[in-house]
Structure 1
């Protein structure tokens, strides 16, 4: 009997260097998002007379800024990885988040993965192996093109010996 369930091969896992590049690019895009949102919200606050909000924006503390960054990061990753299976950085580097079967993880898994990123020193966990937000959420970051070729070959191999239905 042929195994019809594909399991991710470790050779498809993205290198630590590419993971680091994804991390840096995502931080840049999150900061751009925060900047654009701040401009849009400031314009809306000016138009609608939300003086309290404008005062808060002008006098934000470091803690306020960090909370805005963390909140934006959570929304960024849940939005992009939840819908596309990839963040903006992963689009650029040609990588994708998948489950152990090479499929897009369900939304709950993406939410779990995103909140695992808040674990202190999560970024450093990649120095050893897959990293905590991958291992805890049972997700993998792989090269998208190589995964597509691997899945195609796997499914074609499983068709060997199967009778065609006319």
Structure 2
């Protein structure tokens, strides 16, 4: 069981900010997805000397499944790599928020995987309108306003260090 810090909840992002993050992240994933298929189409045309036949591909069940798999893989990769390595997605950079563990530390890979897979649950995108989103609750993470959180943590550390003798 993780140690729970109240300072994390004091600096949680608002529902409005969370909605903006959701909207922008989906927009960026779509842009990445279409850019991938644009580059794929150019590569296909160069290798085979002809354009990709979109009309026949739309009717193909196999093509639809492959496209869906690629979209899900890109979506998972976007959230996992951005949140694990950077602590935030592109949308979170824009809104000044970040993902943090409830104990105040950087989330583990397991937490980010749980958070990312939880997004696949139907209606998860609406769950953040309550107290915490399901992908936050199930992974013991929170989305916080980064600057406010860091400022409060620094001020508490400074207060705690008063009277401590520095060793030179």
Shorter-normalised TM-score: what interval? 0.7 to 0.9
Match of 1:128 in 2: 130
Which ranges in structure 2 are unaligned for 5 or more consecutive residues? Answer: none
The 1:42–1:19 alpha-carbon spacing in structure 2 relative to 1, beyond 3 Å, is same
Match of 2:141 in 1: 139
Task: Provide the aligned C-alpha RMSD in A.
Answer: 2.4
Match of 1:158 in 2: 160
Which ranges in structure 1 are unaligned for 5 or more consecutive residues? Answer: none
The 1:141–1:57 alpha-carbon spacing in structure 2 relative to 1, beyond 3 Å, is farther
Secondary structure of the structure 1 residue equivalent to 2:111:
helix
Match of 2:13 in 1: 14
* Partner Cα distance (2:78, 2:6) in 1: 26
Match of 1:78 in 2: 80
**C-alpha contact 1:6 1:151 (8 A) present in aligned 2:** no
Secondary structure of the structure 2 residue equivalent to 1:140:
strand
Deviation sequence 1:47-106 (CA, Å, 0-9, x none): 23398xx45896145655444332221111012112101000000000000012322212
The 1:141–1:56 alpha-carbon spacing in structure 2 relative to 1, beyond 3 Å, is same
Residue 43 of structure 1: how far off its partner (Å): 1.6
State how many pairs are aligned: 160
Q: Which moved more, 1:55-64 or 1:140-149?
A: 55-64
Q: How is 1:1-166 mapped onto 2 (pairs within 5 angstroms)?
A: 7-9=5-7, 10-49=9-48, 54=52, 59-60=57-58, 64-166=66-168
Q: TM-score, normalised by structure 1?
A: 0.85
* Partner Cα distance (1:160, 1:134) in 2: 35
